[in-house]
A and B are shown apart, each in its own frame.
Chain A
Amino acid sequence: MGGGRLSVGGVHELAIVESVVDAIVEKVGDGPIAAVRLEIGKLSGVVVDSIRFCFEIVANGTGLQDARLDIDEPSGRAYCRECGDEFDLDDPIMLCACGSADLDILSGEQLRIISVEVH
């Protein structure tokens, strides 16, 4: 997406950042924004460093261009349907100590816009 606009092909976080910028402009308008707070879980598959890199490019020329980007990275937490254990995990290959892969992911997959600070 943003095909003609940029040529950072293959950086898949670009689409995520474009969605962030679009959603914020839609909700609070085009005015200058001081800060943006996102929540990007450690199991979301999204790389936070790439988000920061893409944000600089995508925000340029919008009300978000001077905004500070705060990113919370909640850890992964899972419940094992086999043995009933609840445990932390930050590895996308998800296995309980008992060997089961039948897990409920309780946290870590978040991809959320929490808030913005406006002037």
Chain B
Amino acid sequence: MCSTCGCSGEGSGTRISLVTEHDQPHDHEHPHDADHPHDHEHEAGEAHGHGHGHAPAATVEETRTILLEQEILAKNDGLAAANRHRLQEHGITAINLMSSPGSGKTTLLESTVRAYAGVRETLVIEGDQETWLDAQRIRATGSRVVQINTGAGCHLDAQMLAGGLKELAPPDNSLVFVENVGNLVCPALFDLGETARVVIISVTEGADKPAKYPYMFRTADLVLLNKIDLLPYVDFDVELCLGLIRQLQPEARILQVSATKGDGLGEWQTWLDAL
């Protein structure tokens, strides 16, 4: 629950912080203070903590059906649309990077940010449940970076991205990478308002992973097969994996890369530049 206002709205428990050189985590006490993004529409005068003083035992209670007919994720989708609109207005390209833990998201970002140094302004938003480690790795490249800690939350949502962008303040025409929480399940359901969705799978995972997490692969604009430098040492069926991805998402581009050795990173940049 939010310690300041006691609300339990979406995004509570989330901490958003700009990471600077001399970093000790100094979380904002109440990061969503300024415009308190989780707007609840309480009726004037209506108390917040719903007392449950149910009148004892009314025998047969009349009920009345209210039709709502709305998308469960309507609120997230609305906030995502607002993010998308704002990004477009400012010519900012935002990439939502998703994968299982350890597939190489942060490593890819370190190389990519370095490759763009002096060419195009690149900034990063790091989503992790608890630590600042990934943001500090990015910070070491010289890029501006905001860490979002989601606490128990296992994905970023559009409201968190809005908060992150506010803190990051990316300049017009810049390139913003958003490293989602390492998880191949629910980030699939949450539109952030990004320009493109990139899913990474590495050759140290099972080649049948796309079949196990079909929803994630079906939302991808680009799939990166990472750690191909390890192919000689692992038993990974590349053709099986690529075939499954093509079945799930015929429109996705697929690139084979090594974030540590640099293979395929030129094509990755070409893809980014064309967005």
- Which residues of A does B touch, CB under 8 Å? 1-12, 15-16, 18-20, 22-30, 32, 34-35, 38, 45-46, 61-63, 65, 92-95, 101-102, 111-119
Contact = CB atoms under 8 A, between A and B. Distances in A.
Contact of B65 (A5, A15, A117): A117
Contacts of B41: 26
Contacts, number: 152
B70 interface: yes
Given A32-B54, A93-B248, A19 B63 contact: no
A12 B185 contact: yes
A3 B50 contact: no
B5 interface: no
Interface of B: 1-3, 8-14, 40-41, 43, 46, 50, 52, 54, 61-76, 129, 150-155, 157, 183, 185-186, 188-190, 211, 214-215, 218, 244, 246-248, 250
Given A1-B14, A15-B186, A93-B211, A35 B152 contact: no
Given A2-B13, A9-B154, A45-B188, A116 B68 contact: yes
B114 to A, nearest CB: 32
Nearest to A38: B72
16 contacts: A15-B155, A22-B9, A23-B68, A23-B72, A27-B66, A28-B66, A29-B43, A32-B52, A35-B63, A62-B50, A92-B215, A95-B247, A114-B69, A115-B67, A115-B68, A118-B66
Given A1-B11, A2-B10, A27-B66, 17 more contacts: A1-B157, A3-B12, A10-B154, A15-B186, A23-B70, A23-B75, A25-B40, A30-B46, A45-B215, A46-B189, A92-B214, A93-B211, A94-B247, A101-B246, A115-B68, A117-B66, A118-B63
Nearest to A105: B218
B68 A94 contact: no
Contacts of A30: 46, 50
A3 B248 contact: no
Contacts of B65: 115-117
A7 B190 CA distance: 20
A71 to B, nearest CB: 12
A54 to B, nearest CB: 12
Contacts of A3: 12-14, 150-153
A20 B72 contact: yes
Nearest to A11: B154
A7 B248 contact: no
Contacts of B52: 32, 61, 65
A23 B72 CA distance: 8
Contacts of A95: 247
A15 B247 contact: no
A44 B41 CA distance: 29
A8 B150 CA distance: 13
B153 to A, nearest CB: 4
**Nearest 3 pairs of A and B residues by beta carbon:** A3-B13, A3-B151, A12-B186
Nearest to A65: B52
Nearest to B189: A45
